[in-house]
Amino acid sequence: MDKEKFNERICRIIWHDALQQSIKPLSWGIDFSSIKVIDKGTEFKFQTQTVMGKIRIRYSEGTGLFNVTVRLDNNEDSPIIMKDIDLKRLVSLIDRNIKYRVPVEHGVAV
């Protein structure tokens, strides 16, 4: 299988088998026009009531698990990184890390 088809397959697995199996991602304010296939995964923008940013989910061939990076627009220097996550826990861990995050502006919680 060529690399482009492999990446599309992984992206479909993430969306079909994890993100679309829960109603939680609906509360993330996903910008559906921002969804794209990336190397071994997917990336998209989100905006909850308190924070906005970008989520990148990538498959790790070595472990068979997924790595997630959340970059908040107001805190580009400190991404939230979650490693070795199985599909069953993917949504709940992302939800926990973005839904209740307190926005930070210029180093001060608002």
* Average pLDDT along the chain, 110 residues, taken 10 residues at a time: 94 96 94 97 94 95 96 81 96 88 49
Looking at residue 53, what is its pLDDT?
94
Residue 50: predicted pLDDT: 84
Q: Give the H/E segment covering residue 57.
A: strand 52-60
Q: Return the pLDDT at 103.
A: 54
What pLDDT shows up at residue 1? 76
Confidence at residue 102, expressed as pLDDT on a 0 to 100 scale: 57
Q: Output the pTM of the full model.
A: 0.87
